[in-house]
Structure 1
Amino acid sequence: KTAIARILNDRGIPNPTEYKRLHGLRYKQPKTQNSTLWRYFAISDMLVNEIYIGNMVQGKYGSVSYKTKQNKPIPKDQWIRVEGTHEPIIERELWDRVQSMVTEKAKPFTVGTVGLFARKARCMNCGYTMRSSKTSDGRRYLKCSCRHVSKDSCIGSFISIPKLEKAVIDELNCLSREYLNKDELEQKVQFNNNLQEQKKSVENEISIYEKKISEYTKGIRELYLDKVKGVLSESDYLDLSKDFSKEKERLEKLVADTQKQLDVIERKMQAGDNRRQLIEQYTNLEHLDREIVEILIDYILVGKKDPV
């Protein structure tokens, strides 16, 4: 993010505050020197701002008390989100890729570039994310740091980055040739069947959650009637209804999260199987860059070197 800010500043592109000033729009007068420069936090905020994909998000902050103007952050699951309020300027596929990268939190080197396999390579033995190191002559390699935590924690694994790059390129080229040789109709049928199965499974999950929510809603209502009839004491009613309400809220969050998964699946079904076009762009690879790794690879497992 700092590297992005540096690039924008080097190109003389004004940050939002300076842009508003130049166009005569309302803006807060900068209070510090160099307030017109792009900075890490401005880039960080923009990368997760849903306004660029057509969504309006409100209610991120709430008043601490009616007696004060002080605000406090509101939990993300309580934000008010309305989708499709305006025309997006960022494609959803690109947005999802960026969110995945933000979640991975891959750290750049001191020169500002993210390593080729940062947050992608994992130790096959313990699952620990492998870290980049450098030899005295400048060669880079990946190693599992977990083995240094405890003698018995992991047998350890390491690999030079050029060697890993070659192995990955060979595997990707092999997979692409294998995929492109398949009958296209067979691919599409398999693709659609997989998505249909995923959709059905997710819909079943939502149905189960909603049924349980209905049961807890009915239970809370019956608890209230028992309290009114004198069957339950006030304290017992409060304890039980609190537990019921808490479980109901947990299920409602699960429904919201699962619905997002369903939305992703339905978008894939609408877009169709574009894997062939994607793979054709990356056949006969000779070198990798970070973008290719992000697009094609979820993660890589690296094990202990086999004895020769």
Structure 2
Amino acid sequence: MLAAIYCRLSKEDMIPFGHGEKVQESESIQNQKSLLTEYATEHGWNIYEIYCDEDYSGIDSERPAFCRLLEDAEQRKFEIVLCKTQSRFTRDMELVERYIHNRFVLWGIRFIAVVDHVDTEIKGNKKARQINGLINEWYLEDLSENIKAVFRHKRSTGQYIGGFPVYGYQKSQSDKNKLVIDEQAAAVVRRIFALYLAGNGKQQIASLLNAEGIANPTKYKQQKGWNYVNGAQRNHLGLWNKTSVGRILKNQMYIGDLVQGTRKKVNYKSKELVAVPKEDWVIVPNTHEAIIDREVFASVAKLLGEHTKSSGNGKTHLLAGKVRCMDCGSAMLKVSNSSANYARCYLRCKLYATDKSCCSNHSIRLDRLEKEVSDRLKKYIQLYYTPCWGNLLSDTDGEEKHIASLQKQIACLQADVLRHEKALQDLYLDKSAGVIEAEQFAQLNRAYLKDSQRLKSRIFVLAQELDKTKSNTDKTALQGKVLQWLDFDTAPRELINVFIESVEIGKRNLQTNEQNILIHWQI
């Protein structure tokens, strides 16, 4: 008779050993091969083939050698399947029923698990096999929950657990759970934010990056030699699109906050990921060096929230999302009046365009409006900006020292939290290895968690004080920007976003050609 031998080894079968991992000798592939080969020889069976899967979970139904074994079994290439234990074949109860109890029977194949004393030829053995299947599945479910608990703890303590870092960062060589800036990619991220604040649309930014031959995030990671695969990738040319640009503009990771837990698996058996509600994301502030200033990120977020529309060439106009009809309050939409010799843009009341009975025809030439707003903005700044601001805002030495002190205290407390996290990991591994009892583990675990919570509470209080202190120095930063902004002909988009809340346009007087333009200032 011909027997097929199946062996499997996964990370489930690893135990802690020093600073790394060591395969349990009893579970090694070599041990399984030796045991099963000897068993086949003792029974006078010839070995058809030895099928081996390494680093694959027992719940995975897409193991390469496992799938090949099933294909050969269906073609009746052997009469017996030999495994060390039933869990080596599968830990999924559904697969146990589908193959061991059904298809193998139809195909005339006998299944034997040597250590479990499982043999489909023995009558009355089915219940034992089903119990084994349930125990194996319970084990996987329990293992899944334990792993989730460890991951939750790592996320809450500000440790990065992703397989690949977000574009613009790389993992620290000294700590794989810490992100450090990848300067080459970070420069592209900074440029994307700058281009968007300057009024460029997402598609136009993508076109600029493509024209310069800059690889998109997926291609860039692959060029670095990472085994990274993007399931949503539309092409293999490494091209940017407005979606990839928009994803970067919205990513809070770039201001130094660690954002994790945005997706999760449906269950431990499935590989499918589903989105997690934003309120359930795990966000830990100030865990790594920021690429983008919080003020810049907030300005971009506000622009993105205004749902600004482009001018058709991928570039948003300076006042996009801020102009409204003075009579009905509707948004003023951009329209073009073009001929063979000229092209001119206007802003018109959205409600009037939809239903002329609801409002009157408010319209204004876009270039004239931008010129008028720029002139008024320059006068507004010159009127309210005086040199005395410098005197009022220059005494920041004490605040800077206080900020440095707070940052140092927070860093020390975060280091203490990380030490607690490491101690908890070691504790869990000791429990898994049987070094300590479950009751002792529970007591120590509660003590560590209580102490960690105390440290986190202190960090939270200090972080709030730090934010408050930093906000007191924002006026100084604004003063420096105002000095740079005073010299312009057409106001930059960034300046408009800082000073102007909205602009209202009245109906033009056809006799005097006058039109009321009202600006609502933010500061």
Asked if these proteins are the same fold (TM beyond 0.5), I'd say yes
Cα shift readout 1:145-185 (whole Å, capped 9, x = no counterpart)? 21233344323421111221222122112212211347437
Partner of 2:275: 73
Q: How many Å separate the matches in 2 of 1:263 and 1:97? A: 21
**Shift in alpha-carbon separation, 1:132–1:180, aligned structure 2, 3 A:** same
TM superposition score normalised by structure 2:
0.41
Q: Tell me, in whole angstroms, the C-alpha distance in 2 between the residues paired with 1:113 and 1:32.
A: 24
* Counterpart-to-counterpart distance in 1, 2:503 and 2:465: 27
TM superposition shift of 1:29: 7.9
Q: In structure 1, what is the equivalent of residue 326 of structure 2? A: 124
Shift of 1:187: 6.9
Distance 1:181 1:44, change over 3 A: closer
Aligned residue pairs total 238
Q: Quote the Cα distance in structure 1 between the aligned partners of 2:204 and 2:491.
A: 20
User: Take 1:182 and 1:58, find their aligned partners in 2: how far apart are those partners?
Assistant: 45
* Distance verdict in 2 for CA 1:271–1:33, change over 3 Å: closer
Q: Deviation at 1:35? A: 4.0
Aligned to 2:482, what secondary structure does the other structure show?
Answer: helix
Q: Distance in 2 between matches of 1:39 and 1:19?
A: 15
Residues 65 and 156 of structure 1: CA distance in aligned 2, closer, same or farther (over 3 Å)? farther
Give secondary structure in 2 for the equivalent of 1:52: helix
Which one has more relative contact order, counting CA pairs under 8 Å at least 6 apart?
1
One-letter code aligned to 1:129: A
Instruction: Please name the residue that 2:305 is paired with.
Output: 103
Letter in 2 for 1:170: D
Q: Which runs of 5+ in 1 are unaligned?
A: 189-260
Report the counterpart of residue 265 of structure 2 in structure 1.
63
In 2, Cα distance between the equivalents of 1:284 and 1:291?
A: 14
Q: Distance in 2 between matches of 1:120 and 1:264?
A: 29
State how far apart, in whole Å, the 1-side matches of 2:235 and 2:279 are. Answer: 37
SS for the counterpart of 2:309 is: coil
Higher helix share: 1
SS of equivalent to 1:27: coil
**Aligned ranges 1:69-218 → 2 under 5 Å:** 69-136=271-338, 137-181=342-386, 183-184=388-389
Counterpart in the other structure of 2:222: 21
Q: How many Å apart are 1:62 and its aligned residue? A: 2.9
Cα shift at 1:81: 0.8
What is the identity percentage for the equivalent residue pairs of Structure 1 and Structure 2?
31
- CA shift digits 1:52-100 (9 cap, x unpaired): 1111112212333455443321211111111111111111111111111
CA distance in 1, matches of 2:325, 2:467: 30
Give a deviation string over 1:184-218, Cα, whole Å, max 9, x none.
Answer: 37976xxxxxxxxxxxxxxxxxxxxxxxxxxxxxx
Task: Using structure 1 for the length normalisation, give the TM-score.
Answer: 0.67
Kept after mapping to 2: 8 A contact 1:125/1:156: no
Aligned-partner Cα distance in 2 for 1:279–1:127: 31
Q: Secondary structure at the match of 1:3?
A: helix
Larger radius of gyration, structure 1 or 2? 2
The letter of the residue matching 2:218 is T
Supply the distance in 2 between the matched residues of 1:180 and 1:96 (Cα, whole angstroms): 24
Distance between the aligned counterparts of 2:318 and 2:386, measured in 1? Answer: 29
Structure 2: 5+ residue stretches without partners: 1-201, 394-463, 513-523
Pairing 1:303–2:506 present: yes
1:123–1:156 CA contact under 8 A, matched in 2: no
1:173–1:20 distance in 2 versus 1, CA, 3 Å: closer
Which residues of 2 match residues 276-295 of structure 1 at below 5 A? Answer: 276-283=479-486, 285-295=488-498
Aligned partner of residue 299 in structure 1, secondary structure: strand
Q: Counting strand residues as a fraction of each chain, which structure ranks higher?
A: 2
Distance in 2 (CA, whole Å) between partners of 1:281 and 1:110 is 30
Letter in 2 for 1:287: T
Question: Which of residues 26, 37, 41 is equivalent to 2:243?
Answer: 41
Retained in 2: the 8 A contact 1:114–1:290? Answer: no
DSSP 3-state at the match of 1:279:
helix
1:144 Cα deviation from its structure 2 partner: 0.6
Q: Which stretch shifts more, 175-184 or 164-173?
A: 175-184
Q: Which amino acid aligns with 2:222?
A: R
Relative to structure 1, the CA distance from residue 276 to residue 83 in structure 2 (aligned partners, 3 Å threshold; closer, same or farther) is closer
Tell me the equivalent position of 1:196. none
- Tell whether the 8 Å contact from 1:64 to 1:71 is kept in structure 2 after alignment: yes
Match of 1:245 in 2: none
